[in-house]
Chain A
Amino acid sequence: QKEVEQNSGPLSVPEGAIASLNCTYSDRVSQSFFWYRQYSGKSPELIMSIYSNGDKEDGRFTAQLNKASQYVSLLIRDSQPSDSATYLCAVNYRGNEKLTFGTGTRLTIIP
């Protein structure tokens, strides 16, 4: 059973601090990892993708991938109230076009 697990939260972080979101996955045959942001009632929006071990930075966002430990994380630096949303982790398994989503972590940035 391929699964993607996230802590549902809510995760509360003061404005300006670093928010750390984590995701674990159950199958080693995976190749692509994604973080989506979803505001309440809106559609998921792709914010980061990562395909190899290590860190990938894009502005205030950093994705970290550790395939040996089967986890992927998202760091948000200098958190802003506009970062308050649900963050979805998604994994693509090798040989399959499908994305498997976690249930999401709700993040609240406290002004």
Chain B
Amino acid sequence: EAQVTQNPRYLITVTGKKLTVTCSQNMNHEYMSWYRQDPGLGLRQIYYSMNVEVTDKGDVPEGYKVSRKEKRNFPLILESPSPNQTSLYFCASSRAGQGHYEQYFGPGTRLTVT
């Protein structure tokens, strides 16, 4: 089954404790992206990757890091989480260079930072 998976699905942590949210897709997509979703603000892009070893900032990259060492994986790293990073996070993937860019989303990770 074609899918995007994220882990963990729920995470409660404390300020300053480094964490990683994993994202993996099995569709051989070149493009992967991380979003956060907050009430009234919609989906905002954090980082994206056009292919292996190619990443770039989205609209709200502060406080986040990413890496793309393999085509299927795109982990999101919070080196020192803060309460304002409490949010619902989505990973998405799509084919690139085809002109259509339909993105497919993972199930989401609900993060609470206390």
Residues of A within 8 A of B (CB): 31-32, 34, 41-46, 49, 51, 88, 90, 92, 97-99, 101-104
A46 to B94, CA, bound (A): 12
Q: Please, how many angstroms separate the alpha-carbon atoms of A88 and B99 in the complex?
A: 20
Question: Which residues of chain B have a CB within 8 Å of any CB of chain A?
Answer: 31, 33, 40-43, 45, 48, 50, 58, 90, 94, 96, 99-108
Report whether B105 and A45 are in contact in the complex, using a CB–CB cutoff of 8 Å.
Answer: yes
Provided the pairs A44-B90, A88-B43 are in contact, do residues A97 and B96 lie with their beta carbons within 8 angstroms?
yes
**List of 4 A-B pairs having minimum Cβ-Cβ separation, nearest first:** A103-B42, A43-B105, A101-B43, A92-B101
Query: How many Cβ-Cβ contacts under 8 Å join chain A to chain B?
Result: 51
Q: In the assembled complex, which residues on chain B have CB atoms less than 8 Å from the CB atom of A43? A: 90, 105-108
Inter-chain CA distance A104–B42, complex, in Å, is: 7
Q: Please name all residues of chain B whose beta carbon is closer than 8 Å to the beta carbon of A99 when the two chains form the complex.
A: 33, 45, 101, 103
CB distance from B60 to the nearest CB of A (A): 13
Chain A contacts of B90 at CB under 8 A? 43-44
| A98→B100 contact, CB < 8 A | no
Residue picked from A99, A101, A102, most chain B C-beta under 10 Å:
A99
Q: Smallest Cβ distance from A29 to chain B, in angstroms?
A: 13
Question: Are A88 and B105 closer than 8 Å at their CB atoms?
Answer: no
